[in-house]
Structure 1
């Protein structure tokens, strides 16, 4: 049996900042530019981080959006919940027992 060897490009690291404790990611085209973006739930820093894609395999630096003091986001996903032109981000907030909706934030 022949197995194809998979080779990856060099590892690229993107910081979510010290103490942010990222716990969940969602991947998709958040800002309707036909390029994949990454959304991260940063449990330790009470925010959601967005890494917009350049379309060449690299990402812009993280932009953060607070979910409030003690919110501790632990899951993120996105979809067009408001029927707008851009995707919205849904965030589960662990300590407040809520789901937060962030609309058009890129």
Structure 2
């Protein structure tokens, strides 16, 4: 699965580490978002849009239910020892 983020980073030669630095996260999370394994939170999607000067708009992360298969695509999570949360599509955190 190709993503707008992957297309942008490939086209510009931007590394996972450099994008992670620009949007304030771990490079492994950038890699997962590039591959479409996880979806960013709304705040992270906004940071990506800003860092890419609009080349990767927030709306690029949204797909219609009938535009993709029924396989699950993960969402970005926030975890600490003994406490994990999942960012739901509404932007609210729910216990994982």
TM-score (norm 2): 0.29
Indicate the structure with greater strand content. 1
Indicate the structure with greater helix content. 2
Structure ID, larger Rg? 1
